[in-house]
Chain A
């Protein structure tokens, strides 16, 4: 692996990792604040992309970047207020199931409104083209923009939670809701805002993820599994853990693709001849590059076995 390939892969890995972070930040936030594992999180991502698609046709992309997350915020807050709050008293399983149901509803709704095929949601002219060219490979502006937005997002969430009064109330409401309530704060409203905020973060990721990749109904389902991996590996409810895990997974996938080594080639170097007749040949000839996209799931399993609280998690399991 030479310097050129290394640099490009590093950039690709970082930008993909940061998109994963944008997606998982909201999920982590909701989980750490409310203890709700929101299965519909990527549906908010999808809805954000579709809202942005429709809005950008009327008032342009930059307004969509502002308005779409706000609409998704309203949706998330309304869902918390009218649905999630009602099932809260029945415990975690109904909470989880209702978000599961929501993900199906949103998928059907999106297909009814926007159709089953991909929509043409192009990048705005300001984000099209190369940000810079390195060793003859363009690094797209859209990816640089994702990186910038993710970093801003991390910074503002961190400032909000640790440096502001509302952050203090949110943190306190998590561990001592009755005390906070008796001090005169409206705890249910805090939870509503937190859920809406988490949804809005997913919506924001959708606004830029939708045109960087594709806007289609299956976009929620296809990214759903990987963000749960991010949250578990990072540590349930740890924002910095999610940040670390996103980058780790982004880089892991990117660099693994470059490695065309397999158990067979390693054995061959050691002088062991492996042919189609050898036991387990189909498994032995699998290269690391071939399994790269599923490596995060291997990491998930390993993590759950050896360190269930994740990289930076504080609670067990």
Chain B
């Protein structure tokens, strides 16, 4: 099982740890299989045969390590390095991953510089996720680079940038998205809201840039078709990371008589919003969010928001199985939560793709990943061939006291996002307008 680890190079102690971890992982997989709902258990993914390519694959991680999002970036880089270590112990492609982290300062301009440096260092796989602006910059740069340098082609795995345009009007062969996009998440969220008779008046508050505007747009469009009786009683767009005091917005929300708030806010903009709501005693209003788990927010949610804050996502803290065991170990090692589960998708898909292509060549692997179906922590997922958007199940979760079936809490608050509904991939799937040009 741990044949790929050369024991004569590693101290025996490390090999022992490796053995322990891999057996833990196996137990995890067994757990996951027993925990899986009957409906998905009988679906089988055509297994890709294992190969031993015996190569090292360099992955360049281009995301912020400084500035406002440094905490989030650091957490995700740790995630990529940590999982590389785990997948290097055992994978069916027989490859070793080597992660290079480069700070892109959250700027599209810096991202291009970082990308050049990554390619020069021999990386043929780049990963990025914070912000659709940098993601688009990578897509643009790579489509030119790959055309001009057929021997040095590079694949881009996007693990968190959720602008629907990236897999629609701006779709590209070299780009693969592992997160669910804004439209898919809103599809799942409004499918849940449709069945909540208490929702009558909705208030939209979002950050005034592409992401926030799209959340507002899809919320209005989806609610209009699914629950035309729901009234949109107010809509606010505020500047990104500028507002320190959300009390005036809360006064406005209260004034509107809303019973529900939909927000795509992240970071301090979400923390401060909910904190102000709690302080003003806005206890009868529910919040439907996208980014409740991001660094810092769980701490602010605390006990005061229990039962009132919902979040939509492709995973949660207490998934069981392998991912939960990994989460626990990550938490112990970095004293931080593991919440970017798409990192797990990234490695699983790469390994499956490389095993299928029997190569680590970017083009061959990209071809193999198109339409690939594989088992991940949230059931069977598929990388849709037409637009390279991962089709996956989505969870609607609610902020509640941790314990019982959901023991892992977030940021040591004693509270966690508990799943209240799971949607199969087809429910959250949204159509695409992508007309992809393929380089072969």
Contacts and interface: CB of A to CB of B under 8 A. Distances in A.
Contact of B236 (A9, A133, A221, A289): A289
Contact of A118 (B70, B280, B296): B296
A9 B248 contact: yes
Nearest to B282: A137
Contacts of A122: 302
A223 B411 CA distance: 25
Given A5-B251, A258-B252, A16 B245 contact: yes
Residue among A12, A254, A258 with the most chain B CB within 10 A? Answer: A12
Interface stretch (B35-43, B128-136, B271-279, B364-372): B271-279
Contacts of B71: 116-117, 216-217
Contacts of B241: 222
Interface in B259-316: 268, 271-272, 275, 279-282, 295-296, 299-300, 302
A214 interface: yes
Contacts of A223: 244
Contacts of A118: 271, 295-296, 299-300
B251 A137 contact: yes
B201 interface: no
Interface in A1-45: 4-5, 8-9, 12-13, 15-16
Contact of A140 (B236, B238, B279, B336): B279
Interface string A280-313: 0000000001111110000000000000000000
A257 interface: yes
B279 A5 contact: no
Nearest to A225: B242
Contacts, number: 115
Contact of B268 (A15, A218, A291): A218
Given A8-B251, A9-B251, A120 B245 contact: no
B252 A257 contact: yes
A140 B282 CA distance: 12
Nearest to B70: A116
Contacts of A9: 248, 251
B251 A222 contact: no
B416 to A, nearest CB: 15
Interface centre among B244, B248, B280, B302 (most CB of A within 10 A): B248
A294 B238 CA distance: 10
Nearest to B294: A117
A173 to B, nearest CB: 35
B300 A214 contact: yes
A12 B247 contact: yes
B74 interface: yes
B112 to A, nearest CB: 25
Contacts of A140: 279-280
Interface in A116-152: 116-120, 122, 130, 133, 136-140, 142-143
16 contacts: A4-B255, A5-B251, A13-B248, A118-B299, A118-B300, A136-B254, A214-B271, A214-B299, A214-B300, A216-B268, A221-B68, A222-B242, A255-B248, A257-B236, A289-B252, A290-B236
Given A120-B302, A140-B279, 6 more contacts: A5-B252, A117-B299, A137-B254, A289-B238, A290-B236, A293-B238
